Amino acid sequence: MRHHHSKLVRVAAVLLAATSLQGSPAFAQAAPSAIAAAPASAKPKFGTWGVDLSVRDMSVKPGDDFQKYASGGWLANTQIPADKPSVGSFYELFDTNQDEEKDLVTNAPAGSKYGAMYQSMMDENRVEQLGLSPLKPDLAKVAAISSKAAMARHMGTTDGDFGSSIYSFHLDADTADARMNALNINQGGLGLPSRDYYLSPEFKPQRDAYVAYMQRTFQAIGNPSPAAAAARVMAFETAIAKVSWANADRRDIDKTNNPMSSAELAAYAPGFAWASYFEGAKIPAQKRIIVNEKSAIRDIARIYAATPLSTVKEWEAFHTADQASPYLNKAMVDSRFAFTKTISGVTEQRPRWKRSVTLVDGSLGELVGQDYVTKYFPPASKAKMVQLVANLKAAMAGRIQSNSWMSAPTKAAALEKLSRMDVMVGYPDKFRDYSALEVRPNDLYGNVKRATRFNADYDMEDLGKPVNHMKWGMNPQTVNAYNGGGENKIVFPAGILQPPFFDPNADDAVNYGAIGAVIGHEISHGFDDQGRKIDATGTVRDWWTKQDAARFDAEAKVFGDQYAKFEPVPGAFINPKLTMGENIADFAGIQVALDAYHRSLGGKPAPVIDGLTGDQRFFLAFAQVWREKQRDDALRSQVTTNEHSPGRFRVLGPLRNVDAWYQAFNVQPGDSMYIPPEQRARIW
């Protein structure tokens, strides 16, 4: 698991330096950059100025339910497709991008690697003819394992191959010296989405489906006692789940920052052959390893030591087959889907061409991304986005300087961090070189294995080296954005820089309310409950005073208590401890973006268009970006496992605390969303 980026949202996963201006008043008060106007003849994608007014529900008062007011018609008339867990702006744009990528891969020139990868996945006849034969050598490797040490060595190889491990690893900026990379170790071993799926009564249907899937898999691969094997594997994973950390604790830097040497780790977590594991992963002895879920990593080693090798081999064989199954025959694909649909609630498998595009995207992302941006991301869009980000950074500086809970020294440190925050827009300055990767149009299984190893080696090539800030953690075509944490950078791929998030032909209020709030969201992660623990250099150091932290925590509790009352699906409430960072980022993003919009007006009043003020258009654009419908199973999974609140509450939760929203729509006491001014959260 690679979890070191704060992302805006999770879409694809569901589907398979500025100069230092520390303390400078000029930074906060700098004149906004002018944003070039679109040609008079250019039309926005939605409506006449960038928002679809036809989907509003004018029978709903804005102050009663702003999501329904802004998008009630869409909510009433939109059906969730059978092959999706959710539908909304992110998924609609994801579909658009998949269509665009399909056009690229199906029209790829002869010899194209991504064309060959797509072709190999689409060749169903060959996949059926081969059956399980591609999988058998991998299962034979597992069957030949004769000791726990050999199993640990094998687990070390699975970062770049089919198979699983009770631990995972990744590189991130060293918590003590952010200029250098450090190895991070995380808990692993689970096949269900989180520990809660093993331990909570509400997830019994998913557990039952998982065990049934294991039985089918064991039968398919020739295990003589499929039901007994499935029961043993489930017992092993349940034991691991009981000692695993909850997701809310896994996002707390104070808890996860546990540096050890290789020798110290082996002494702390005996029962697992760490030297063999690292040997399999081709990782030499390390002076500093950041051990994330400290007690879980120790206790999982104890469970491993107490579990018969035969059971661990069954566990490894199942996960090898599970991970390989999307690239095997229809029987294996369908068996896996019969389980995974219980997590997402979907009723239909995604079309094969979409799964094929997703494979291309995951295996050759920057290769297809290079052609994607050439065709779909004009230089003018990048230039306008760079200007938008500059305006948002200036607005954030103003928010830092004017807030009431930060002391002067903390404000100075925050302004330094903001000034040094790198901004990356559209695509990397240097694309990856894929020339060493072999892709054959008639070898799907081999292609996936080679690409998996190629990408794992790329991820780990900087072990023991300085951090390469030019590397991206997302592909250019991804509909998402992220804050790089210890790298102190924010990244906005071209994939999200399209309507409704960004439209160069839309009214400025729309772009600030949509992509502007996204930019503000990512900037503010550098200053949230975890960002405050990383300084301007990327080093883990709490640069707030105790008094600042106490004032912040008090306001955050006010905000979190509001979210704790939200019940997206009966019996499942939002966990503010898990979602706090993302909720605060949403809250900050709106306010910083609105400030930036006001600054962009240069002191002039915003025009009234279709009877709507600039602020009204801003908030409508924000609400329509986050419109979303989700299946109950998908909602329950998100509330349990995801640090992001569901889309509806990313609208309702923050806006209830934004004074300007009350003024824009004349929200009054008695309205359902109304909170008295003295009870509103005041964070940014």
Mean predicted confidence (pLDDT) in 106-124: 96
Locus of tokens 């998949």: 98
**Rounded to 5 degrees, what angle do the CA atoms 111, 116, 122 make?**
150
Sorting pLDDT into bands at 50, 70 and 90, what band is 8? low
User: What pLDDT shows up at residue 29?
Assistant: 27
Cβ distance 69 to 62 under 8 Å?
Answer: yes
Cβ distance 471 to 454 under 8 Å?
Answer: no
Give the strand pairing for 167-173 and 181-187.
antiparallel
pLDDT at 3 over 50: no
Length reported for the chain: 684
Q: For domain 6-28+87-102+361-461+471-679, which CATH number applies: 3.30.300.160, 3.40.50.300, 1.25.40.10, 3.40.390.10?
A: 3.40.390.10
pLDDT at 36 over 90: no
Residue 197 in tokens: 């799926």
Mean pLDDT in the chain? 93
- Distance between CA atoms of residues 660 and 654, nearest Å: 12
Helices (H), 110-179: 113-122, 124-130, 136-143, 148-157
Q: Can you tell me whether residue 168 is helix, strand or coil?
A: strand
Quote the radius of gyration of the chain (alpha carbons, Å): 25
User: What pLDDT shows up at residue 34?
Assistant: 37
Residue 171 in tokens: 């590189």
DSSP 290: E
Sorting pLDDT into bands at 50, 70 and 90, what band is 53? very high
pLDDT at 40 over 80: no
Which residues is 630 bridged to in the sheet?
86
Report pLDDT digits (tens) over 136-189.
999 999 999 999 999 999 999 999 999 999 999 999 999 999 999 999 999 999
Query: What percent of the chain shows pLDDT beyond 90?
Result: 93
Could you state, in order of their start, the residue ranges of all structural domains in the chain? 6-28+87-102+361-461+471-679, 136-327
Instruction: Burial-class residue 515 by CB neighbours within 10 Å (0-12, 13-18, 19+).
Output: buried
- Distance between CA atoms of residues 570 and 428, nearest Å: 43
Largest CA distance in the chain: 77
Residue 585 in tokens: 């980022």
DSSP 516: I
Instruction: Burial-class residue 17 by CB neighbours within 10 Å (0-12, 13-18, 19+).
Output: exposed
- Distance between CA atoms of residues 91 and 420, nearest Å: 33
The answer to whether 6-28+87-102+361-461+471-679 and 136-327 have equal CATH topology is no
- Selection from 607, 426, 593, 591 nearest residue 507 by Cα: 607
Other beta carbons less than 10 A from residue 571's beta carbon: 8
Report pLDDT digits (tens) over 256-276.
999 999 999 999 999 999 999
User: What pLDDT shows up at residue 617?
Assistant: 98
Determine if the peptide bond prior to 500 is cis (ω within 30°): yes
pLDDT at 308 over 90: yes
Mean predicted confidence (pLDDT) in 394-414: 95
User: What pLDDT shows up at residue 15?
Assistant: 35
Question: Half-sphere exposure (CA, 13 Å, Cβ side) for 351?
Answer: 8
More confident of the two residues 14 and 606:
606
User: What pLDDT shows up at residue 528?
Assistant: 87
Locus of tokens 């692993």: 188
DSSP codes of every residue in 404-467: SS--HHHHHHHHHHHHT-EEEEES-SSPPP-TT----TT-HHHHHHHHHHHHHHHHHTTTTSB-
User: What pLDDT shows up at residue 9?
Assistant: 52
- Selection from 473, 501, 490 nearest residue 585 by Cα: 490
Say what the alpha-carbon torsion angle 303, 304, 307, 313 is, to the nearest 10 degrees: 150
- Distance between CA atoms of residues 446 and 430, nearest Å: 28
pLDDT at 41 over 80: no
- Distance between CA atoms of residues 650 and 300, nearest Å: 36
- Selection from 149, 150, 143 nearest residue 272 by Cα: 149
User: What pLDDT shows up at residue 529?
Assistant: 87
DSSP 572: B
CA distance to 237, 493, 621, per residue, from 301 (Å): 13, 39, 50
User: What pLDDT shows up at residue 31?
Assistant: 31
Give the relative orientation of helices 444-460 and 352-363 as an angle to the nearest 10 degrees: 30
Amino acid at 308: P
pLDDT at 11 over 80: no
pLDDT at 618 over 70: yes
- Distance between CA atoms of residues 160 and 455, nearest Å: 7
Mean predicted confidence (pLDDT) in 430-450: 98
Domain 136-327 has CATH 3.40.50.740: no
- Residue 211 C-alpha from the chain's centroid: 28
User: What pLDDT shows up at residue 42?
Assistant: 81
